[in-house]
Amino acid sequence: MTSEPNQNNLNFSICPLGQTVLKYQVPLDVFNIINTIYETKYTTLPPANKQLVGKIEKEHSLFYQGKDTSKMHHHNMLTNNVLQWVDKVMDHYLNFNKIKGYTKSLNSIWVNQMFQHEYNPVHVHQGSLYTGLSSVMILKLPESFGVEYSSEHNPMNGKLQIMGSVSGQFATCDYSPNIKERDFYIFPYDVRHCVYPFNGPGYRRTLSANMDVDYNPIMNRGRN
pLDDT value of residue 2: 46
Q: How far is CA 76 from CA 64, 80, 110, 141, 200, in A?
A: 7, 10, 11, 25, 33
Q: What are phi and psi of 95, to 5 degrees?
A: -70, -40
Q: Are 208 and 109 in contact (CB under 8 A)?
A: yes
pLDDT value of residue 166: 77
pLDDT value of residue 44: 94
Q: What are phi and psi of 20, to 5 degrees?
A: -115, 140
Cβ neighbors of 163 (< 8 A, separation 6 or more) are: 122, 173, 174, 175, 191, 192, 193, 194
Residues of the chain below pLDDT 50: 1-3
Q: Are 78 and 34 in contact (CB under 8 A)?
A: yes
pLDDT value of residue 1: 43
Beta-ladder partners of 123: 193
pLDDT tens per residue across span 97-151? 999 999 999 999 999 999 999 999 999 999 999 999 999 999 999 998 887 777 7
pTM (predicted TM-score): 0.91
Q: Are 176 and 160 in contact (CB under 8 A)?
A: yes
pLDDT value of residue 147: 79
For residues 28, 32, 35 and 37, what is the CA-based torsion angle, rounded to 10 degrees?
-140
Instruction: Write down all domains in the chain, each with its CATH number in brackets.
Output: 18-214 (2.60.120.620)
pLDDT value of residue 177: 94
